[in-house]
Amino acid sequence: MDDLCDLLDLFIMEFIISPRLALYNYSAQMDDEEKIKVALRHLSTCGKHVDNQKNGKSKFRALAYIEEGNKKFESLFREDLLEIYTKAAMYAEIGSNELARAYGNRSAHLYTSGLYEDALIDIERALAIGYNDDTKTKLYVRRAKCLFVLKKEMSPEIEEALSDARKWLDKMKEADKKYMTKILDKFPEGLLNKTPFKKYDYNALLPEPPQDNPKIPGASGAIELKYSDQFGRHVVATRDINAGETIIVHRSYATVIDSKFSHKYCWNCCKRAWSGVPCHKCVEVIYCNETCRDKAWSEHHEIECKVISVITREKLDIYDLLALRLTAKAYKEAGSLKKLQEKIRKIDSIDDPILKCLTNNRFDHTKYESVYSLWRHNTIDSDTALRLSLILCSLAATTNIFGEKILNSKQLLNNEEATFIGRLMLVNHEIASMNASKFSGDNNAGLALDPLWSLFNHSCDPETINMTPGNIMSLTAFQRLEKGQQVCINYDEPFFFAYIPNRRLLHKKFRFECECRACKECWAPDFFLKFPHCEAYTPAALMKKLGLSSIFGEFKKFGDMVNANDDTKVVLIPDLFRVLDFYLRVYGYPRVEIIEIKLILVHISSALSHKY
Ligand SMILES: C[S@@+](CC[C@H](N)C(=O)[O-])C[C@H]1O[C@@H](n2cnc3c(N)ncnc32)[C@H](O)[C@@H]1O
């Protein structure tokens, strides 16, 4: 029981069995700094040291994954095999033969899946590291095949790959040699009708980021931040906003991927990493390419890397990971611990809730000021404080954040810098749990935090609709908003999905009484006014008047079309907004037809958000 993971298990067990025993001095009324000290003191009584050597790379585990992939090559689904070879790459030592084999074998699978460009990337990587001589022919043939399928004609590059393939033929086993010679002789037989797998590019469907708000980059000039005692900070329309107008398009400040999906999505940009590269040091994360890996390293992963190796990700709450990410980014952004302390002191000294979010007079969602100023409550429970203090211990033991590495939790207790970072971790955890949104796809594969998004208040009948693929947060007006009106988002589900008791639970979590019309008038999901029985007012007649008859027949099928990868119909979204706008102007609300169009738009946006 020498490492921190065992310690974590022990403490969590102690806490569950006897909370008082685990943290007998803990009280909800303490401030965050006291809470971290109590948790550290409790840890130090155990007197254990952190194993700061652990990184998880293992030749044997890499080989085991390669063997498993090879055995199951014919029988497994594409996703499962990609996962196995990606895991092999994650465990393989950098520059090792196992890494070359993981890339080489994965390229075979990428090829059969129609991911030719990704297969070419893996082939290059495998050859650069040094692939086994007796199988090099296979790689060069695969390279020639990928190039041919992509270009549909011979080229000098393909000729070169074929000639390289022939060079290594003699190194192959006799049976393999015969087989490959046949393929080489018949090349490019059977390749003309192969088509590449169509990757989904959500960027193509997102609106352009608005550029006209000098105070809030990435937001529409039609909004501003306000503060009132009743609503706290909130967002207000500075002019009338039409249905379908873009309000914000942001890349969120921070995102983390759930451990179940860590081999699938890029730890930097959240995109699907088909031919992902692992971190040089740990086995916990994957990147879509080397550029993302280097960017993440310099912006945050240098700090997180060892911590998430020491305390394996399965043992951490995803909000702990986000708290760690926010702390790492804040530290890197400031450049030193001293500068970070100065920055925090400065924000703490500003009372005005809006001014304290600003950097150089602007609300800059890429700066930590905008994140830290979201903190409003001190609600960390002892269990979370304990987990965060374990993260703090491993930060001290595995990074140089406090100068020298500190291996003993007792030493941390009297270290003011450690208490400062510990408190910041608690604050960041609270910010994460109150403001982060689960991003869509693969059953909530991760969490994203955008500070501007976090300043929108909630409505059960929101005026806005969001699309949040990966780490992008975009918000569009759902209906017309008048100048001066508050612009809200929906924190969970709009009233037409959520029953009142569920909505109450949500308000309890966020501690407010919802005053939207849907709550005041107790609208349940099936509450809406019936459409008048008059020919002239039927949806079909209205659509005809608007010149949109062709869509009306189709709009109910939109959801299916989006799911079926048919993006062409999505261009009709603006027309749906026009219809919605028209209905909202002409008829009372809520009305079944209006809700139906809203439902379709919600469905489309969620389907699009899920495909990243
Ligand atoms: C994500 S924050 C939104 C920004 C927040 N108003 C602020 O000042 O930082 C969520 C908090 O805002 C407040 N809030 C959100 N929606 C609200 C509403 N409809 N009415 C009143 N307060 C609301 C609640 O205090 C809630 O915990």
- 392 and 313 in a single domain? The answer is yes
Residue linked to tokens 């207000």: 236
Q: What is the pLDDT of residues 271-328, one digit of tens each?
A: 889 999 999 999 999 999 999 999 999 999 999 998 887 776 557 789 999 999 999 9
Query: Does residue 600 belong to any structural domain of this protein?
Result: yes
Element at 225 (helix H, strand E): strand 223-228
Please give the number of the atom of ligand 1 that sits closest to the Cα of 456.
Answer: 3
Structural domain including 335 reads 255-441
Q: Cα of 506 to ligand 1 centre, how many Å?
A: 12
User: What single DSSP character describes residue 572?
Assistant: G
CATH of the domain at 246: 2.170.270.10
pLDDT at position 592 is 74
- Residue 551 falls within a domain, yes or no? yes
Query: Which atom of ligand 1 approaches the CA of 491 most closely?
Result: 1
pLDDT of 313 reads: 58
Handedness of CA 74, 80, 85, 87 (dihedral sign): negative
What's the full length of the chain, in residues? 612
pLDDT (0 to 100) of residue 606: 73
CB 518 within 8 A of CB 462: no
- C-alpha neighbours within 13 Å on the C-beta side of residue 415: 21
> What mean pLDDT do residues 517-529 have?
77
| Final residue belonging to a domain, choices 410, 441, 472 | 441
Residues 282 and 396 in one domain: yes
In a domain, 304, yes or no: yes
Query: Is 372 part of any domain?
Result: yes
Q: Which residues contact residue 260 at a Cβ distance below 8 angstroms, ignoring those fewer than 6 apart?
A: 445
Residue 37: pLDDT band with limits 50, 70, 90: confident
Check which CATH number belongs to the domain holding 149 and give it. Answer: 1.25.40.10
Mean pLDDT of 121-135: 96
In a shared domain, residues 433 and 308: yes
Both 161 and 234 in one domain: the answer is: no
- Cα 231 to middle of ligand 1, angstroms: 6
Query: Within 13 Å, how many C-alpha atoms sit on residue 78's CB side?
Result: 12
Contact 134, 172 (CB under 8 A): yes
CB of 263 closer than 8 Å to CB of 447: no
Ligand 1 atom at minimal distance to the Cα of residue 376: 9
Band of pLDDT at residue 208, cut at 50, 70 and 90: confident
Domain total of the chain = 4
The SS3 of residue 501 is helix
Do 407 and 298 share a domain, yes or no?
Answer: yes
Q: Is residue 110 part of a domain?
A: yes
Whether residues 547 and 466 fall in one domain:
no
Q: Which of 62-71, 379-388, 428-437 has the lowest mean pLDDT?
A: 379-388
Is residue 191 domain-resident? Answer: no
In a shared domain, residues 424 and 482: no
**Separation of 317 CA from ligand 1 center, angstroms?**
24
Q: Are residues 570 and 488 in the same domain?
A: no
Mutation to probe ligand 1, out of 449, 458, 466 (largest number of atoms < 8 A from CB): 458
Secondary structure element (H or E) that encloses residue 486, with its range: strand 486-487
Q: Which residue has the tokens 């039609």?
A: 222
pLDDT reading at 608 higher than 80: no
Same structural domain, 474 and 604: no
Residue 522: inside a domain: no
Considering the domain architecture, whether residues 417 and 469 belong to the same structural domain is answered as no
User: What pLDDT does residue 349 have?
Assistant: 97
Nearest C-alpha to atom 1 of ligand 1 is from which residue? 454
Predicted confidence (pLDDT) at residue 547 exceeds the cutoff of 90: no
pLDDT at residue 610 is higher than 90 = no
Residue 479: inside a domain: yes
pLDDT for position 231: 92
Best residue for ligand 1 mutational test, from 352, 379, 457 (most atoms within 8 Å of Cβ): 457
Same domain, 471 and 545: no
pLDDT in tens, 381-424: 888 898 898 899 889 988 999 988 888 777 888 899 999 999 99
Q: What is the pLDDT of residue 53?
A: 60
Å from CA of 460 to ligand 1 middle: 13
Same domain, 117 and 166: yes
Q: In 3-state terms, what secondary structure has residue 250?
A: strand
Residue for token digits 């400031």? 334
- Testing ligand 1's pocket by substitution, the residue of 252, 512, 513, 515 carrying the most ligand atoms inside 8 A of its CB is 512
Q: Which residue ranges have their beta carbon within 6 Å of ligand 1? A: 231-234, 376, 435, 454-455, 457-459, 510-512, 514-515
What are the CA-CA distances from residue 216 to residues 129, 242, 307, 355, 466 (Å)?
Answer: 46, 20, 34, 13, 18
